[in-house]
Structure 1
Amino acid sequence: MTGIARLYGKMEELALGEAAAAEESDIPDGGWGWVVTLAATVIFFVVTIPSVSFGVLFSDMLLGWDTSFTVTSWVFNLGLVFAGLCSFLTAPLVDEFGWRKVALTSGFLMGLGLTFSAGCNMWILVCIAYLVMLHYFLRWRRVSNAIIVLGVCISQMTMPPLITYLQEEYGSVGAILITGAVSFNCCPAAMLLHPVEWHKQRSYPTTSSKKDENPLPGNTPGTSACLMRILSKSRSCLQLLKSPVVITIAIMIGMHMTVVFNVFTAVPFAMEKVGFSLQDASLCLAVAGGCSLASRVVSALATFCPGIRARTIFLSGSFLTSVSITGFSLVDTLVEKAVTLGLCGFGYGLAMSLTGLVVVEEVGLSMLLPVLSVSFFMSGVLFLIVGPVSGVVRDVTDSYVASLCFVAACLLFSVVVGVLLPVAHILHQRRQHQQQSQEQEQQQDEESCCAVTSVLVELMVVVLVVDGAV
């Protein structure tokens, strides 16, 4: 995938790349890496809170204000739009300041957002958690990946019932403040993300992880120069969207996140409209979290089976999620809704647990961070479109069934796009071949021009010599 790497330009040095491949024999593969795994699990737990618990946390308040579902969708999706659109800054920020400083700042901002507003989801933290894990593990990489994504399931299983209890004991405002306080746990977790060089026996040239303690001399000028470097590298990162392979992966990942998070937000509102209580909605969300936990174990085991690609499992999970969302909107009893939402959680966990592995499988390990950042950027764009449109569909039709079927259809579209990923690879290879042919032709033209120029110069010299002799 050298063509994609060429599009990325200088930003490719932020990922593992060839230098990291040379160091694989000295990767800790344990030790402090398990502490990093625990810290990343905490980060995943906290980052998931605004996404899966928004409906439970704010439903009573918004329903008391008689807020339309369109406005509710805007409130929820704007925070995720901000998180997605800012995620493409991950690579340049890590390159400039190191992953600990960026993670600590992002965690602090997320805690403030959830305490004083409707939440501020920082997917920069997710990108960094994946990146750090890859630096610490090689042989145990799949196991570490399976552990850190458990944070999402634990959050989904525990937070909705806990928030319901806090609302009964301390009211809506008290529950929001306590949940915000829980989100600040990202800060101490970020401090545990040591530069991997601290735990290696041999030293290597400075990488992005070392910049926490030893910034490069070229990265020390003033604020304006630092800002210009970040903007320049961010622009290079967005150029990845020129690749059909990257845009396909971004749609697969971004659409799945957009649809599932909007469904989890709509569940309390949809169930209360047909006569269920908030406790019933919390129970269904907890069941979805438990099924998501089970699916992540299944997906982790499936990745060890030869011949099974991560993309196949991801698309299977997305298809199951789409079908179960439609089923949830059509069934009537609490048991049926819990079962269908459990299937939705199973499909969600099956897909999202393999997000990083899908990227590595399709474009290579060196492109994980930039492609993951672009995928989250795409999710921000989709949150800006799909979420509010689903709210408009709900208010126009006065039916959550129509709204949920709409988002299920959007997810099914992303499955179709994902199935066409091999075609995207072929298109990319053709484009790459055309670029190489053009470069070769240009090089040949330049060589021809140089040869002609050389001949003309020699002729002029000969003429001058002859003229001087005459």
Structure 2
Amino acid sequence: MALVTRPLIGELGWRKVGILSSVLTSIAFVISAFSPCPEFLFFSISLLSGIGAGIAVSLCFIILPLYFDRKRGVANSIMMAGICMGQIVGPPVARFLQDEYGFKGATLIIGALILNSCVGACFFHPVEWHLKKTRREAVSLPQEDEALLCEQNAKRNSAASNSQISCNESKGDQDLMPFAMLKKQRGGLHSAEASSISRNSSSLCISTIDIAGVGTIPVSELIEEPYPYVQDSNRSSSFCISKTFLRIVRGTAKDLTILRSPRVCILALNGTCFLNGYFNFMMIVPFAMQAAGRSLEDSAWCISISSICNLLLRVVVSSLSDFPRFNKRACYVSGFVVTSLTMFTFPLLVELRWQILTMAGFGCGIGATMGLYTITMIDVMGLDSLAPVFGATSFAVAFGFLCFGPMIGFIRDLTRSYAISMWAMGGTVLCSALSWFLMPAATRYDQRRADKQHQQPEKTNSKI
């Protein structure tokens, strides 16, 4: 669903998508409480909850960096802390509710708790709503410049040519910058004067312009809108829905084309191998320890210790990413290495204390990588490409879950050994670290391709 999130945002907006996904996830749990048969859970929990939760989680990862610049790492650490706290507190709470109220009551209560996500989604305001307004110093233009500016706007607005033009305070840069260029072409505007106009264009006081007659550039011409709204009221609602659906499909397909970049492919490979490796490892640890003669309480301690270390490292690493001297990429790759080493080591241990210590290192490796997961995407591809990169990477991770899970089970059934299965998962995580060494070559390839695309228009213009 991460692939569909960005096109949905383009059609409905941040808050509507967040609220709808939260409501859908809550409904999935509520109707699961009245499930007539176990097969119904494949529809309610797997399908409906997967769609709603997938969009909600992707939305949080994508929207957070847009609100922060200098403190982006601290904000990311707070979000990561919330995710880890949910993983730590959620299972005991679900077990307590099930013991007290049974399956139906516990599922209804959890559905009600999920519905509180709508409150958080209501705060997904556009950043422009909260920008601080700054006062700029007003600048008066010479008389001849005012006349030239009036002449330019009179030509652009033939309807106002017969009326006397009275100039008031000008708003926006779209009228002043063409004026500055026109004056510069005539040789009457110096570079210092032009820069002064461009700096103070939002607060220039002109006394000879009629703002009502000044033609403005539509926003759609300044900013490319890949998902425009359907505003024709004469068309049927079914036609509008079908057009919206087609735009979402086209937007999803367009986001997938970002996989043509080798850098995105490496990021997708990193996420696929790492997330599939460590998730399957955590699922198989209790069974491996039970087969080795350990109790479920011992395995619970190992999982809890790894989750706590995961939480601490996510918060620390994300906060450190705000400092310029902190090497984010080295820490990101180190998380791969530490996680894979602990996965190779754990099956060889016998004593419980060493197993707990190894699982603590396992949690530290996960925290070091996941704390920089989206930050690394921004560092490699830029903030503007975060949404399609995150969507394409999540798509690859989801496809990996369909392949890695059965493969690990097949290895376990074939070898009758949990150790070999864990080593196979450790090898997939190690592949994430090794693939990162291809990133410099991928960066150079993308740079050369961008240079070629930039040179082709120049050659065409020179021929013309």
TM value normalised by structure 1:
0.67
Shift, 1:276, TM fit: 3.1
What is the aligned counterpart of 2:365 among 330, 347, 351? 347
Distance (whole Å) between structure 1 residues aligned to residue 231 and residue 331 of structure 2: 43
Q: Tell me if 1:428 matches 2:446.
A: yes
What is the aligned counterpart of 2:82 among 151, 156, 160? 151
Shift, 1:287, TM fit: 1.0
Name 2:12's counterpart in structure 1: 97
Give the direction of change, closer, same or farther, for the CA distance of 1:302–1:395 in structure 2 (3 Å limit).
same
Moved more, 111-120 or 263-272: 111-120
Distance (whole Å) between structure 1 residues aligned to residue 281 and residue 111 of structure 2: 22
List per-residue Cα deviations over 1:388-432 (Å, max 9, x = no partner): 211111122222211111111011111111122111101212233
Give the direction of change, closer, same or farther, for the CA distance of 1:195–1:219 in structure 2 (3 Å limit).
farther
Distance (whole Å) between structure 1 residues aligned to residue 290 and residue 67 of structure 2: 46
List per-residue Cα deviations over 1:225-244 (Å, max 9, x = no partner): 10111111111100000010
Shift, 1:148, TM fit: 0.8
What is the aligned counterpart of 2:321 among 303, 322, 337? 303
Q: Tell me if 1:396 matches 2:327.
A: no
What is the aligned counterpart of 1:372 among 366, 369, 390? 390
Letter in 2 for 1:145: N
Can you give the 5+ residue segments of structure 2 that lack an aligned partner in the other structure?
Answer: 33-40, 134-170, 173-217, 221-227
Letter in 1 for 2:345: G
Letter in 2 for 1:195: P
Letter in 2 for 1:318: F
Name 1:276's counterpart in structure 2: 294
Shift, 1:131, TM fit: 3.3
Letter in 2 for 1:293: L
TM value normalised by structure 2:
0.68
Moved more, 108-117 or 146-155: 108-117
Contact residue 314 and residue 354 of structure 1 kept, 8 A: yes
Distance (whole Å) between structure 1 residues aligned to residue 106 and residue 297 of structure 2: 15
Letter in 2 for 1:110: T
Aligned residue-pair number:
354
Contact residue 78 and residue 315 of structure 2 kept, 8 A: no
Partner of 1:306, secondary structure, is: coil
Name 1:313's counterpart in structure 2: 331
Letter in 2 for 1:241: L
* 1:454-469 equivalences in 2 (<5 Å): none
Distance (whole Å) between structure 2 residues aligned to residue 324 and residue 184 of structure 1: 38
Distance (whole Å) between structure 2 residues aligned to residue 186 and residue 393 of structure 1: 40
List per-residue Cα deviations over 1:155-203 (Å, max 9, x = no partner): 2322334445455555677666655554443333223323334433569
Moved more, 349-358 or 426-435: 426-435
Letter in 2 for 1:289: S
Q: Tell me if 1:137 matches 2:68.
A: yes
Letter in 2 for 1:131: I
Give the direction of change, closer, same or farther, for the CA distance of 1:228–1:251 in structure 2 (3 Å limit).
same
Q: Tell me if 1:238 matches 2:169.
A: no
Name 2:347's counterpart in structure 1: 329
Distance (whole Å) between structure 1 residues aligned to residue 353 and residue 104 of structure 2: 31
Name 1:223's counterpart in structure 2: 241
List per-residue Cα deviations over 1:117-137 (Å, max 9, x = no partner): 355443332332133323332
Shift, 1:365, TM fit: 1.3
Distance (whole Å) between structure 2 residues aligned to residue 380 and residue 344 of structure 1: 22
Name 1:190's counterpart in structure 2: 121
* Aligned-residue identity in percent: 32
Distance (whole Å) between structure 2 residues aligned to residue 114 and residue 329 of structure 1: 37
Letter in 1 for 2:421: S
Distance (whole Å) between structure 1 residues aligned to residue 15 and residue 265 of structure 2: 29
Contact residue 160 and residue 285 of structure 1 kept, 8 A: no
Name 1:465's counterpart in structure 2: none
What is the aligned counterpart of 1:262 among 273, 280, 300? 280
Contact residue 161 and residue 286 of structure 1 kept, 8 A: no
Shift, 1:248, TM fit: 0.9
Partner of 2:125, secondary structure, is: coil
Distance (whole Å) between structure 1 residues aligned to residue 232 and residue 336 of structure 2: 42
Return the structure number with greater relative CO, CA threshold 8 A, min gap 6. 1
Write 1 or 2 for the structure with the bigger share of helix.
1
Letter in 1 for 2:248: I
Contact residue 245 and residue 421 of structure 1 kept, 8 A: yes
